[in-house]
Chains A and B, each alone.
Chain A
Amino acid sequence: EVQLVQSGGGLVQPGGSLRLSCSASGFTFTNYAMHWVRQAPGKGLEWVSIISGDGVTTYYADSVKGRITFSRDNSKNTVFLQMTSLRVEDTAVYYCVKDLAGFGAFDIWGQGTMVSVSS
């Protein structure tokens, strides 16, 4: 079964840091780019970042650029999202998502993890 299982998240003060993890199974991990998509409470979906299958290339949404680092460990089938200088507006459920190659779509989603930024 293709699956993404997320961990991390929680409550952090503004300016703080947090690291999210996402463990993949059921597919050839290195063959696929991975994404993070977030959803603020009661709001819509916002794409955050993508990392290539080999981990060499990353892109970020303007709203998080310079504050977030997306990485992966292909030996452990795991991706990581390191978040720093967190702001109140970063409060959201963060989803780890598998890329549907060739279509620019997201075909497998993790269960989501809540990040709350508040003093």
Chain B
Amino acid sequence: EIVLTQSPGTLSLSPGERATLSCRASQSVTSTYLAWYQQKVGQAPRLVIYGASSRATGIPDRFSGSGSGTDFTLTISRLEPEDFAVYYCQQYGSSPRYSFGQGTKLEIK
């Protein structure tokens, strides 16, 4: 089973700053099968990035994803107040098996 480890656990930044969230896999992940989600308090998660770098429908272009193999990154270029939330990475593997990282909380500094 592939384990995803996200860092940092909590990221404190101000609106307008750049956010860089990391997701590291215990084994290589096919980029096609790496996704990122945003979850606000009391809400269902929302797909942000799929295929490691493709933005989901309605996601602004300040969100970008990159990476390959075992290291993936979600970058938010200029934080808006609505971007503060918990972000999860997720991968799909054979069997099938789906796993999530433990999440990074992006909070207002």
Q: Point out residues on A near B: beta carbons under 8 Å.
A: 35, 44-47, 50, 59, 95, 100, 102-107, 109-112
Q: Point out residues on B near A: beta carbons under 8 Å.
A: 32-33, 35, 37, 44-47, 50-51, 56-57, 88, 90-92, 95-103
A59 to B95, CA, bound (A): 8
Q: Within the complex, which residue of A44, A104, A111 is in contact with B98, where a contact is CB–CB below 8 Å?
A: A104
Could you tell me the distance in whole angstroms from the C-beta of B8 to the nearest C-beta in chain A?
15
Whether the pair A106, B96 counts as a contact (CB closer than 8 A) is no
Whether the pair A111, B92 counts as a contact (CB closer than 8 A) is no
A100 to B92, CA, bound (A): 11
**Residues of chain B lying within 8 A (CB to CB) of residue A102:** 32
Whether the pair B45, A103 counts as a contact (CB closer than 8 A) is no
Could you tell me the distance in whole angstroms from the C-beta of A53 to the nearest C-beta in chain B?
14
Of all chain B residues, the one with the shortest Cβ separation from A57 is B96
A106 to B90, CA, bound (A): 9
Whether the pair B50, A44 counts as a contact (CB closer than 8 A) is no
**Interchain residue pairs A-B with the least CB separation, the first 7:** A104-B92, A47-B98, A105-B35, A109-B44, A104-B33, A105-B50, A45-B100
Given A103-B33, A105-B50, A107-B56, 16 other A-B residues pairs in contact with their CB atoms under 8 A: A44-B102, A45-B88, A45-B90, A45-B103, A47-B98, A47-B100, A59-B96, A95-B45, A100-B47, A102-B32, A103-B32, A103-B51, A103-B92, A105-B47, A109-B44, A110-B44
